[in-house]
Amino acid sequence: MLEIRNLHARVEDREILRGISLTVQPGEVHAIMGPNGSGKSTLAQVLAGRDAYEVTEGEVLFNGRDLLEMDPEVRAAEGVFMAFQYPVEIPGVSNTYFLRAAVNAVRKHRGEPEISAGQFLTFIKEKIKLLGLTNDMMTRSVNEGFSGGEKKRNEIFQMAVLEPTLCVLDETDSGLDIDALKVVSNGVNALRSPERSMIVVTHYQRLLNYIVPDYVHVLVQGRIVRSGGKELALELEEKGYGWIEAEALQTA
Amino acid sequence: MMANLMTTEGPKLARLLDSAPGGPEWLQRLRDEGRAAFLRIGIPTTKHEEWKYTNLRDLAELEFVDAPQAAPASPWDGTESEAGATFENGRLVRWQGAEGVTIEPIAACIANDCPGVREHLGQYARPTEHPFVALNTAVFEHGVVVRIAKDAQVEKPIHLRFVNGAADRPYVTNPRVLVVAERGSEAFILESHYGEGVYFANPVFEVKVEENAHLEHVKVQQESDEAFHIATIEGHQEANSVYHTVSASFGAQLSRNDWNVYLNGQNVETRLYGAYVGMGEQVSDQHTRLDHAQPNCNSFEVYKGILGDRASGVFNGKIFVHQDAQKTDAKQTNQALLLSPTATIDTKPQLEIYADDVKCTHGATVGQLEEEALFYLRARGIPFDVARSLLTYAFASEVLDHITHEQVRDQVERALYEKLGGGFPV
């Protein structure tokens, strides 16, 4: 599904990703962990197509096609979804309008007919409940006046509606209390399927108690320095990132 | 030495003064004041502080003829209303009252000395300073007096419709409107301007909002791309009243609004919302002035401009807090979005505060669309061009959400959508 080969990226003069290679098969959940500034979020942003980052080396193949060549909207239409760490407020555009426009843009890309406002409301009804959102929030402007937890739930709701095949969660757990974390995790777990892959970027192991990964990778200074199963996350939780950073520096 | 013809003859518009109508003595005094002021000030140049960024040279050059008879259909013809008046090419052609609302031609009101006319006319829009108020006062013939009766609850919009038709040569309209919202009344005024061809519209409104009255006033300006539109609205509020205004300014090659409100009573609330759009070579100038003259009043102002191509915009928002106006709470925001590197905006918030216990804030931003928001939409599959159109529309439509009448709001939002060239599905 996704193949990242020797990916290097920088912002202005600063190199942030320094040779990342990662293969994600359909249905797999990969956690990307690492200390602050290790490049986790940059990786998520590069996959989503943020042009603030310049890819200087390497390639990313999505279902065999060059992902880096695609505009962000094409990536989304092809099935890539990033849940933002800081969801953006868009005054004047209602949630429902925004999401229907997104769904129809994606459907158009796939050569499918657009869906009407009425059909759309039926379609999202169950998903609104799943994420504990309200109809009132749907008619409000995108993320405007939402609490931190509501914004994150809204991200996962969008994911549920757009039904992507590759989900990238960028620090979705940051700023969530335990109840919100459970709601968000339930939403994510409901979307797990043999055809859908996930990359879960997080600083803390806590999220991974709820969204249990198949693989855990540790990023330090723009490189994956260690990969393992879900138990690696527990080890990091216990020992912190210090030892692994020290190890990485020695071998570098 | 050759005499400069322009200065010896005065502005071409001054010829209108030659055929100025008469009237009773009290009116004649106002007309004379206007005439003197217009001859003194003339058509202001950019050296005039209030006209620094709006160049009227093209207007000054125009030769005017009599207004034509025929007027086009207006997109506002079908809007729900009961009471209202229609002006075609500056002439009052139809008017109708409703329960709680009387509408009469201003000429008849003056001739019959209707109650209040003498008391209010020319008292808020003084003919001595603003050259175009001066001109209007000196020469106006057509207009209406709108009176909303004490405690009347008028549900349907009172629609004042101005339609201007194309003529071979430019013409001038000087409509004059006096609105009196009597004590405890509640009403909604829609003022729509639409036209074709070249003309100069110079409407002057005086709006009196008496104690405990609640008046919403929505103005939509969709004059022709060749037209000049210079308008003055002077609001005057008494205690415990609410004057809620929304200005949507999309048309004319050059447009100027002076929307001023005098808060002359305690516990007054004034809301000024405005959305203006300029494309091509349009010039859109929005001036507002709020006079907080009494204690315990609130004013809330949000103006948003969108300027593309080589258009230019001006926002000048004055707030005067007089010495007695303690506990004033005034908040002003103006934002402008520049869609092209050749579009310009000059913004000038101006606060003058002579009371010591007040809360006044103002904020001005000028910029492009937010990259963050654009990326967010694109990351959800919405193409770049669509995302840009949608965000541009949303920027201004937020202001129009303050129109409380649903049909009017939808229609103004539709006009904004079309003005911006659509670009996203509705």
**What is the secondary structure of B302-325 as a DSSP string?**
EEEEEE-TT-EEEEEEEEEE-TT-
How far is it, in rounded angstroms, from Cα A111 to Cα A230? Answer: 39
> Do A109 and B382 contact (CB within 8 A), yes or no?
no
8 Å CB contact of B377 and A98: yes
Nearest CA in chain B to A89: B373
8 Å CB contact of B397 and A106: no
3-state secondary structure (DSSP) of residue B134? helix
- Strand partners of residue B148: B101, B181
**ipTM value of the model?**
0.95
From chain B, pick out residues whose CB is under 8 angstroms from the CB of A104.
425
CB pairs under 8 A between A and B: 76
Residue A115, chain B, CB below 8 Å: the answer is: no
> Do B26 and B118 contact (CB within 8 A), yes or no?
yes
Contacts for B403 with CB less than 8 Å, ≥ 6 apart = B216, B218, B246, B409, B412
Residue A118, chain B, CB below 8 Å: the answer is: no
pLDDT in tens, chain B (426 residues): 333 333 434 678 888 888 778 889 999 999 999 999 999 999 999 999 999 999 999 999 888 888 998 899 999 988 888 899 999 999 999 999 999 999 999 999 999 999 889 999 999 999 999 999 999 999 999 999 999 999 999 999 999 999 999 988 999 999 999 999 999 999 999 999 999 999 999 999 999 999 999 999 999 999 999 999 999 999 999 999 999 999 999 999 999 999 999 999 999 999 999 999 999 999 999 999 999 999 999 999 999 999 999 999 999 999 999 999 999 999 999 999 999 999 999 999 999 999 999 999 999 999 888 899 999 999 999 999 999 999 999 999 999 999 999 999 999 999 999 999 888 887
The pLDDT of residue B7 is 40
Contacts for A56 with CB less than 8 Å, ≥ 6 apart = A8, A9, A10, A15
From chain B, pick out residues whose CB is under 8 angstroms from the CB of A163.
none
Contacts for A147 with CB less than 8 Å, ≥ 6 apart = none
8 Å CB contact of A92 and B401: yes
How far is it, in rounded angstroms, from Cα A124 to Cα B422? Answer: 27
Helix pair A242-251, A231-239: axis angle to 10 deg? 100
- Strand partners of residue B234: B206, B260
Q: Which residue among A73, A98, A158 places its CB closest to the CB of B378? A: A73
Residue A107, chain B, CB below 8 Å: the answer is: no
Residue A88, chain B, CB below 8 Å: the answer is: yes
Interface test with B, best of A88, A95, A151, A169 (most B CBs within 10 A): A88
From A27's Cα to the closest Cα of chain B, the distance in A is 22
8 Å CB contact of B373 and A90: yes
The pLDDT of residue B63 is 87
- What is the 3-state secondary structure of chain A? CEEEEEEEEEECCEEEEEEEEEEECCCCEEEEECCCCCCHHHHHHHHHCCCCCEEEEEEEEECCEEHHHCCHHHHHHHCEEEECCCCCCEEEEEHHHHHHHHHHHHHHHCCCCCCCHHHHHHHHHHHHHHCCCCHHHHHCEECCCCCHHHHHHHHHHHHHHHCCCEEEEECCCCCCCHHHHHHHHHHHHHCCECCEEEEEEECCCHHHHHCCCCEEEEEECCEEEEEECCHHHHHHHHHCCHHHHHHHHHHC
Q: Which residue among A92, A102, A109 places its CB closest to the CB of B380? A: A102
The pLDDT of residue A252 is 59
From chain A, pick out residues whose CB is under 8 angstroms from the CB of B425.
101, 104, 114
Under-70 pLDDT residues of chain A: 251-252
8 Å CB contact of B376 and A90: yes
8 Å CB contact of A71 and B378: yes
Question: Among B85, B420, B426, which Cα is nearest to A117's?
Answer: B426
Alpha carbon of residue A232 to chain centroid: 21
3-state secondary structure (DSSP) of residue B419? helix
Ramachandran bin of B116, using left for φ above 0, alpha for ψ from -120 to 50, beta for the remaining angles:
left
DSSP codes of every residue in B13-54: GGGGGGG-----HHHHHHHHHHHHHHHHH-S--TTSGGGTT-
Q: Which residue among A73, A91, A114 places its CB closest to the CB of B381? A: A73
How far is it, in rounded angstroms, from Cα A26 to Cα B234? Answer: 67
How far is it, in rounded angstroms, from Cα B426 to Cα B423? Answer: 9
From B274's Cα to the closest Cα of chain A, the distance in A is 15
Residue ranges of the alpha helices (H) in B131-220?
Answer: 131-139
Nearest CA in chain A to B385: A73
Residue A146, chain B, CB below 8 Å: the answer is: no
pTM of the model: 0.89
